[in-house]
Structure 1
Amino acid sequence: MPEIAIITTGGTIAMVRDPSTGASVPASGMNVHVAEVDGLSAIAKIRHYDFSNVPSPYMTPSMLWNLSSLVNDILKDENIAGVVITHGTDTLEESAYFLDLTVQSDKPVVCTAAMRNINELGTDGPRNVVSSVKVALSPASRGLGTLVCLNDEIHAAKEVTKTYTSNVATFDSPGYGPLGIVDEDKVVYFRRLYYRENYRVRFIEENVALIKTFVGDDGRIIEKLPELGYKGLVIEAFGRGNVPPKVEDALKVLIKDLSFPVVITSRCFKGRVLGIYGYKGGGRSLHDLGVIFAPGLSSQKARIKLMVVMGLTDDLTKIAEYFQHS
């Protein structure tokens, strides 16, 4: 029987309802039950790794680094066919993309979660775990990078995002759709990613800020970033990648005076950023200034990627090259 490693990190899937408050809270020992849900023993031998038991907003870059190192070590074992990671939904997409960029194996890595804790009616955790193990067992999953599987849909880590605060069908890939589905005992793929990236890094730059620009933004927040210890910046801009004029002034100081990498994304969840508009603060003006565009990445994933590539180089031209295929 094939062997799958299940790494538990916490999240709603490892929570119960507090009888006195009604709130969902982490439960001691629940990670073991996650790795022993009904149906798993019939399809695979399970090796459990208890990484953490925290809500996903507690995840940090250093924890992601340690998680990636653990996955890399586990996948070196020839007896392990793949890895399933249980995680909270709030930051799952960031952890999955970090793993996608840094895990050095073609073996399947599948992240999953639950929107309802084990005490709630219609809890989705057990089925998501079983479906994810099926995905990890499928030969067709090899070479696809890190995948996200919930609600019997399989998504690419690069494309997927949480779209609904409470619905079990929360994970989607806007503009792309799922890579495939789990249909009973079959794993069916409809498409593959045309291009994916993977980097062998020895460290990451944790001090990367993410700021969403807004109407009337005067750039004062941006100006404070260097003295706060930040080394890089992702800006979630308007439309095709445009910002208010005073934001451009602040960015000019960062880029020209401090060689600060600045990456632009869009607050639109479909489409690509591109330097089209030539007015002050427009995308073309920002491009000429040296701002780096992340054409198809969300802001949170552009931040993850910038942390990783800044572990490879601090040269702005080379960093920009890494983002050309985003």
Structure 2
Amino acid sequence: MSKVAIITTGGTIAMVHDPLLGVIPSDERNKHLNEIPQLKEIAETELIEFTNIPSPHMTPTVMFELSKFIKEIIKRDDITGVVITHGTDTLEETAYFLDLVMNEEKPIVLTAAMRNWNEPSTDGPANLISSVRVAKSKNARNKGVLVCLNDEIHSAREVTKTYTSNVATFDSPGYGPLGIVDEDAVIFYRTSLLRMHLDTERVEEKVALIKTYTGDDGSILRVLPELGYKGVVIEGFGRGNVPPKVADNIEWIIKEKNIPVIVVSRCFKGRVLGVYGYHGGGADLKNKGAIFGNEVSGQKARIKLTVALGITDNIEELRKYFEFNGDD
């Protein structure tokens, strides 16, 4: 039988309800995730503990250490694929980070649970079973890092958490899932074509993510250099437009402080583009030196910038990692 490594990082899938404290991590549950009886019918599994933390405690540095940990496991000849258990809150960021820094042929699948083990309808076992099916599937090879919950398979680049409590929380707006798990079948309908591999030896934690709003004066950008930030992602409106004073401060932080600014949209679908030439429009920001992010969310663009700044801090060099399309 195929052998799948289950690497634990924590999250609700390894949590129980405490009557005094609420839902909390359980070391005991984390150690026994691979003891679901149905798993033995699918593949031989080996549980390997990496950590057991709530996903809001995850950082890019921990993600980088996790990527190196996975590389050591996945190069073993007896391992067919890897499943990583994770909390849902930041799963999409860890998945995307791994997709950027890893380029493995064997399947790497992240899964999680929205309901802890004390709830009668906990979704952890079903998600883990489906994910092991995906990790052992030949069709999942060379697909990049995958996310599997609720019997849907998503691309790390495209997926996002859309609901605070529903088990059907993960979706890929504008794209849809790559495939599904149906009983014992793993079916892929498409592949993600805009994946990128970045080979870095370090990551830069000091990257800010700021969402603009009507009436925003952009003054928060002025304090970022004093706080030691090396890059910033701005979630703008529509095609990547911002209020006039935000545009002025974007120009200041780029030209006076040499700090790269990535502009993305708060919209779920579509690309940012230099269409509007008014003060604060996308074309105006491009002329001021801003970089357009081709990512599907601000948090994904921030993850990419933490990785890319480990390679270079040159703004024009960074631009090539963000401004691309399917023809590049």
Alignment correspondent of 1:324 = 323
How far the C-alpha of 1:228 sits from its partner, in A, is 0.4
2:176 aligned with 1:177, yes or no?
yes
How far the C-alpha of 1:215 sits from its partner, in A, is 1.1
How far the C-alpha of 1:315 sits from its partner, in A, is 1.2
Distance 1:69 1:36 in 2: 26
Alpha carbons 1:64, 1:98 under 8 Å: kept: yes
Alignment correspondent of 1:135 = 134
Where 2:168 maps in the other structure, the secondary structure is coil
2:232 aligned with 1:233, yes or no?
yes
The 5 Å alignment of 1:1-326 reads 1-21=1-21, 23-325=22-324
Alpha carbons 1:154, 1:182 under 8 Å: kept: yes
Distance 2:189 2:27 in 1: 39
Distance 1:196 1:325 in 2: 11
CA deviations over 1:254-294 (Å, ceiling 9, x no partner): 11112111001111111111111111111000011110001
Where 1:312 maps in the other structure, the secondary structure is coil
Distance 1:233 1:286 in 2: 14
Query: TM (normalized to structure 1)?
Result: 0.98
Where 1:41 maps in the other structure, the secondary structure is helix
| % identical equivalent positions | 59
How far the C-alpha of 1:20 sits from its partner, in A, is 3.2
Alpha carbons 1:204, 1:311 under 8 Å: kept: yes
Alpha carbons 2:308, 2:321 under 8 Å: kept: yes
Alpha carbons 1:12, 1:115 under 8 Å: kept: yes
The residue type equivalent to 2:134 in the other structure is: V
The runs of 5 or more residues in structure 1 that have no matched partner are: none
The residue type equivalent to 2:188 in the other structure is: Y
Larger deviation: 196-205 or 108-117? 196-205
Moved over 3 A (4+): none
How far the C-alpha of 1:62 sits from its partner, in A, is 1.1
Distance 1:184 1:239 in 2: 41
Alpha carbons 2:88, 2:114 under 8 Å: kept: yes
Query: TM (normalized to structure 2)?
Result: 0.97
CA deviations over 1:162-209 (Å, ceiling 9, x no partner): 000000000000000000000000000111112311122111111100
The runs of 5 or more residues in structure 2 that have no matched partner are: none
How far the C-alpha of 1:325 sits from its partner, in A, is 2.8
How far the C-alpha of 1:42 sits from its partner, in A, is 1.7
